Amino acid sequence: MPQVFGDAIIRQLNSEKWDQREEALQSISERLRQEANVAAEMSDRLPLFNACCCIVRSAMNDKVAPVYFASCKLLEYLVDDFGKELNAEDVQAGLAPLMGSMLARTGESNQRVLECTCALFLSLARMETVGLDFIATYVTQQIKTMRKTRLVWGRLDLVRRTIIEYGLKRANKFSADTVLPMVIPALEVADEKVRKMAMRVVVDTYKIVGKDAVNPHVQNCKPALQNSLQRRFDKADGKPTQPKQSATRLAPLKPLKGAGSLPPLQMEGVSLKGGPPKRSSLAPLAAPPSQLSAGLPAPMSDVRTTLSNTLDDEEAMMNSILQDGP
């Protein structure tokens, strides 16, 4: 490596100062531009191309964002300009060791890093020496663990961006059959943000390839999840959504707090249950003073006597009226 780029650049690449590492990558990019004017034969460019791929692979793992940005810029120029006339197999062989590091950066919390990574993947997919099939092999790789929710979300975001730009075709490696097996497990992740992104990817896939291509991948999902997906599929098809069923029964009234400890309602010495009885139109019967003072109801014999006396008085009054008549 020193014999290709010189000891000064190698020292800068290994410097503890991030600005020195960034400057080294910029110097290599400038060196490539100079070599492009000198090396007329493509065979002369391949050793330099492979050496640059090794340097970029190390820089891809740099934690400092500016250094990572410089490595992405260098890689894009290396493939699209300096190595555009190289054999596609040689280019892909040099890029293959970089793909793992690039995929790992989709889990970064720095939005600019994520944007730069996705843009680089899409840019490489446009290049003739790389292409979508090569990129899809890595983009659609199964995610080993769903616990790293930030990485899962970033991968889903990258897949969705790729779908939006390139669509889905059954003839290549970026299709519903390669995308959905990676996306479906994310539908059941606890993180809501991840689930929503996975749902968007599935719906985007449905819009492109249709029901027959999607159903085999979602038929083993939980029933509630299938219903949620079906509602979104219906919406994508322009079908009216089913209104939510309203409750037909009123909820039972809850007893008042502490109502069970209240004493029963008392009325005239009688314990009532379920509320007071209906009022009678008859006047209450008089009870003997002795029993009124005791607060007890009158016995039946006294009630009969009272009724008999009342009837006798009414009969005497009617006889008196008849006798005084004309």
For residues 120 and 155, state if they share a domain.
no
Please list the residues that pair with 266 across neighbouring strands. 271
pLDDT at 32: 86
pLDDT at 293: 46
Tokens of 51: 């050496």
* C-alpha closest to that of 104 among 158, 50, 169, 51: 158
For residues 14 and 50, state if they share a domain.
yes
For residues 133 and 169, state if they share a domain.
no
- Classify burial at 313, counting beta carbons within 10 Å of its beta carbon; exposed 0-12, middle 13-18, buried 19 or more: exposed
265 in a domain, yes or no? no
For residues 223 and 111, state if they share a domain.
no
254 in a domain, yes or no? no
SS3 of residue 270 by DSSP: strand
134 in a domain, yes or no? yes
For residues 6 and 112, state if they share a domain.
yes
Alpha carbon distances (Å) from 257 to 205, 253, 265: 54, 12, 17
pLDDT at 135: 95
For residues 196 and 181, state if they share a domain.
yes
> Final residue of a domain: which of 241, 258, 285?
241
For residues 7 and 130, state if they share a domain.
yes
Residue span of the structural domain in which 185 resides:
141-241
1 in a domain, yes or no? yes
Tokens of 169: 């075709």
Per-residue DSSP letters for 105-149? GGG-S-HHHHHHHHHHHHHHHHSTTTHHHHHHHHHTPPPS-SS-H
pLDDT at 3: 62
For residues 118 and 205, state if they share a domain.
no
270 in a domain, yes or no? no
Residues 6 or more apart whose CB falls under 8 angstroms from that of 19 comprise: 66
291 in a domain, yes or no? no
> Final residue of a domain: which of 104, 139, 174?
139
For residues 6 and 84, state if they share a domain.
yes
pLDDT less than 70: residues of the chain: 1-4, 37-43, 170-171, 241-326
Alpha carbon distances (Å) from 115 to 21, 110, 244: 22, 9, 39
75 in a domain, yes or no? yes
pTM, rounded to two decimals: 0.70
Q: Please provide the size of the chain in residues.
A: 326
Distance CA 150, CA 66 (A): 21
Question: Could you tell me how far CA 93 lies from the centroid of its own chain?
Answer: 38
For residues 27 and 124, state if they share a domain.
yes
Over the stretch 165-184, which tens digit does the pLDDT of each residue have?
Answer: 999 876 678 999 999 999 99
For residues 231 and 151, state if they share a domain.
yes
Distance CA 308, CA 323 (A): 23
Distance CA 137, CA 139 (A): 6
Domain count, the chain: 2
For residues 133 and 1, state if they share a domain.
yes
> Final residue of a domain: which of 124, 139, 154?
139
Q: Please, what's the b/e burial string for 26-59 (b: 16 or more CB within 10 A of its CB; e: otherwise)?
A: ebbbebbeeeeeebeeeeebbebbebbbebbbeb
308 in a domain, yes or no? no
Instruction: Give the H/E segment covering residue 18.
Output: helix 18-38
CATH code (residue 58): 1.25.10
